[in-house]
Structures are given as C-alpha cells and as structure tokens.
Structure 1
Amino acid sequence: MRTVITWQWVFIHLQCFLIGSLVDSSSLSSATNFLSVTSTVGNQVVLPCSWKPRLGEVAPSACHIQWTTLADTVFEQRGGRKWQAEEFEGRVEVPEEKLGSGDCSLIIRDVQIGDTGRYESFMVVDGVRSTKMKVFIQSVKLSVFDHKSRQSQAPGEDLVLDLHTRHSVRVIFQSRNSSVSTDLWMRGDENSLRLEENQVKEQLTIKNLRRSDEGTYKVLDERGLVISTVQLSVEDGSTALKVHQFMEKEITGDAAESSCSALLVLFGLVLSFQFSHLL
C-alpha cells in the first residue's frame, strides 16, 4: 500500500511539473515580440521592427535585414542591395536611412488580401569563423480585409465604385432578385455609354442608374478574392448618398495558444482525478 501511494505522489509531482512548464511556455509565447496589424485592401501598412532590443545600441558593420513569411522570403536588403519576392515587387521597402538607427520596419504599399499572414524579421550578423548567423528580431501578424458598404441612390444618378487598387481586375453584379452573378466589367474594357473607368483614381462609374441596377456589386482581384462589396438600393426621392462602412472583426488568438490552454485543462482534470483517489 505504501508503494502505491509513493508512486501516486510521484505521478502528481510529475503532473505539477508539466503544468508549470506549460504555464511558463505560455507566458513566454505571449511575452515574445508579437504584434498585430490590420488594414483594408489598397492601403499602406507598416510592420514595426527594431533591432536594438536584440542586438544592442551599436549597429552591425553592414545592416543585413530579412523579412520572411512561413512560406518564403519577402524582402532582403544589405546596404544598397535589395531583393523582393515577385508578388511583392515594387510594393515593399525598409527605408535605408532609418535602418542604421535601429528601425527595420517593413513598409507594404497597396496591401492585398493575399498579403494576410505572419511575417518575421531577422538580422544577418557575423558569427564565429567568418560564418553568418540569423538573429530573430520581430514577428508581426498582418490581417487584410475587404471593403464593405451600403449605398442608396435615386434613379438617374451615378454610382461611383471604388476599385481601391491596381490589382482589381473584375467587377461582378448580382441583381436583388437573382442568385446568379454576371460580369459587369473587366480591366482593359473600353468605356461605354453607361460604364466609365477612371484609371487615375481607380474608380468605375455606372451612369444613369435604373431600378434594374439594384443589387450587389463585387470588385475582385486576379485570384478572384473579393476586394470590395457594395450593396446598392435604387429608391425614388433619394438625393443623398448613404454609406456605411463595415470592418470584419479580427479573429484573435493563435492555434498554438488554444492548444496550450486545452492541455492545461486536461492536466488539471487528471490532477483532480488523482487527488480524489488519494482521499
């Protein structure tokens, strides 16, 4: 009987150790340099980064910065030499004049839905025996949302659809009384009597609205991802444009943190079960 109780206490101590380890790892994961940035399509975002907390006040002899996603390298810069991933070509930058003072923030212009994800920055520094070593600096979660609006106009007025970005290539329309979407506009189409594209402002104007124009308009990118959704009502006597912008709520939390919480609950239940058998 004494041997059984001894092993039970050993098992309990082991559980306590594991729970403590999980709590510590959870605290460490929440305390790491993890930031969240949100935006809507077409805007410019800044993914914050500072190498000084990791490397000290003295700048490396040649600042060599890398920004990566889980899948690939996004941007790399060493002195005046720069490299950008194809899908980010002409849209990403780390200002060289700020890099030497510690600011390694990544600027992404004309941000797209497909840019959503986690980004990590590294400084490449000299290691032992002339080798190079990557030092982790910052992790940033970027969430990009589409634009949503509702508009009400009178027959005969014009509807101006914001395309928001040069990556918008298609507009589809679904009538209020239909479940089928039809192509309304494709980039490169010539202007017509009722459709006019403004390439400078990235806008599409639908002229002389009719009752049949009432419905949902969606702006899509090259991948078919939704950039903008506009729900239009055409009402008699309406002279003012009513616009209501909606932003989707960011889903907070990571799968890893959820798993850690689940493990804590599981060990807590097992621990309670063991105590009940000892009493």
Structure 2
Amino acid sequence: MNMNHYILVFIPSLITYTGSAFAQHQISITATVGSLAVLPCDCRNVTKAQSSSQSPHVQWRNISETVFERQGEEVYQSEGYKGRVDVPKDQLMKGNCSLVLNNVRAEDEGVYQSYILVRRSKRALQSEHVLLRRVELSVGGVPETPNNESSDSGSKSRSHTGLIITVFVTLVLVLTLGLLWKFKARTYFANEARGNYALTSVSHRDSPPQSD
C-alpha cells in the first residue's frame, strides 16, 4: 500500500473518530429572539482535584472566536456579546459553568464549546484546554412587538371590513323595504280608485231616469 492510499484511508477514519468524541458532549437547545438562553455546562468532574479556594478558568467559544472567558474576577467578553454573556462566579465555584446569554439575537445561532483550562502539574508552563460541552443553539421566532402590531392591524382591518359590510346590508334592507312599501301603497291606491270608479258607474246605471 503506497503512502497516498494510506493517507486517503487514515484521514476519514480520524474525522469519524473525532466527530464521535464531540458527539458525546453535544446537546441542542432552542431560544427565541430577545429571550434569555442558558447553555448548560458542568465542570465538577474536572475541577474536583483542584483546591476549593481556586476559581476555575472557564472559556466559551463559537466557531470563530472566544465568546466569554472567566478566571476569578477577570472576565473577557467578545465585542458582539459584550454585556450579554456571563458565567456567574458563585455558580462557577460550585462547578456550574453554564453560559448565560441575555437578549438572544438571530446571529447568535451556532455551535458553542466550553473548555476548562487546567494545569496537570505545578511545573507546567501552559494550561491544557479540556473540552466540557458542545452546545448547538438554534434561534427562532421574532420579537413580540411587531407580532402584536401586526395582529392589531389585522384586527382593525377586519373590524373596518365588518362595519362596511354591516352598513351596506342595512342600506340594501332599508331600500328594499322602502320599495316594497311604495309598491304596496301604489297597489292599494290603485285598487281604491278602481273600486270608487266601479261604485260610481253602478250608481249612475241604477238611478231612475229623471223626467223633464
């Protein structure tokens, strides 16, 4: 087997294995625009060997940048998330490294990964990133205000339409009744006139002739 063939076989296998390793940490949550979302994370199993007085060093990243990072009182928030993300220190000391994301935006949708930075030994110069959780955030819905305005506009439009229909039907009914009344009145007076004419004719016919 030549080297090129070995690489073609090895790389897909490596990708499959890495994906399986991430999959066991991944969960999916859904939030609506403007709401509060909590991306869950638990670091107790990783930090239990550390001193209880030592604040864990936690980091949350998305596909392109570090979104949030906390080590004790030192906090970093990326520009697009400034003022909207936090891992409360009191919760972090208890092993809860969940990321609280306020005022969710449509562009917040994506995959987030949480890491705990640990040193395996006191002599280690650099901290090791330990993957804790992979969270896929889906954002749906729209702010409530436009929906309410749209709903109010629709209600007003339907109300106006109903009023116009009611007025139209009322006018037609009034006109119809007026025409019927006029027709009946004409018929009545015509019959009265014919009756009077008939009575007059009979009276003239039955009256005795007057002698000169």
TM range (shorter): 0.5 to 0.7
Secondary structure of the corresponding residue to residue 130 of structure 1 = coil
- Pick from 131, 151, 154: which aligns with 2:126? 131
Offset of residue 133 of structure 1: 1.4
Counterpart in 2 of 1:34?
A: 26
* Distance in 2 separating the partners of 1:143 and 1:233: 34
More contact order relative to length (CA 8 Å, sep ≥ 6):
2
* Distance in 2 separating the partners of 1:122 and 1:107: 15
Number of equivalences: 149
Offset of residue 130 of structure 1: 3.0
Counterpart in 2 of 1:184?
A: none
Counterpart in 2 of 1:58?
A: 49
- Pick from 96, 101, 104: which aligns with 2:97? 104
* Distance in 1 separating the partners of 2:58 and 2:86: 11
Larger CA Rg, structure 1 vs 2: 2
* Distance in 2 separating the partners of 1:135 and 1:30: 12
Offset of residue 126 of structure 1: 1.6
* Distance in 2 separating the partners of 1:66 and 1:131: 15
Normalised to the residue count of structure 1, the TM-score between the two structures is 0.45
Counterpart in 2 of 1:179?
A: none
The 5 A counterparts of 1:132-151 are: 132-147=127-142
Offset of residue 129 of structure 1: 2.9
* Distance in 2 separating the partners of 1:39 and 1:99: 23
Q: Which runs of 5+ in 2 are unaligned?
A: 1-8, 164-212
* Distance in 2 separating the partners of 1:56 and 1:90: 27
C-alpha RMSD over aligned residues = 3.5
Secondary structure of the corresponding residue to residue 124 of structure 2 = helix
Offset of residue 59 of structure 1: 4.1
Secondary structure of the corresponding residue to residue 235 of structure 1 = helix
Offset of residue 63 of structure 1: 1.1
* Residues 1:204 and 1:31: Cα distance change in structure 2 (over 3 Å): closer
Check conservation: 1:47, 1:140, Cα contact below 8 A.
Answer: yes
Structure with more of its chain in helix, by fraction: 2
Check conservation: 1:59, 1:101, Cα contact below 8 A.
Answer: no
The 5 A counterparts of 1:177-216 are: none
Structure with more of its chain in strand, by fraction: 1
Check conservation: 1:59, 1:102, Cα contact below 8 A.
Answer: no
Counterpart in 2 of 1:25?
A: 17
Offset of residue 124 of structure 1: 1.1
* Residues 1:56 and 1:87: Cα distance change in structure 2 (over 3 Å): closer
Normalised to the residue count of structure 2, the TM-score between the two structures is 0.58
Q: Which runs of 5+ in 1 are unaligned?
A: 1-16, 148-160, 164-170, 172-202, 215-231, 239-279
% identity of equivalent residues: 30
* Distance in 2 separating the partners of 1:63 and 1:56: 7
Secondary structure of the corresponding residue to residue 94 of structure 2 = coil
Offset of residue 27 of structure 1: 8.6
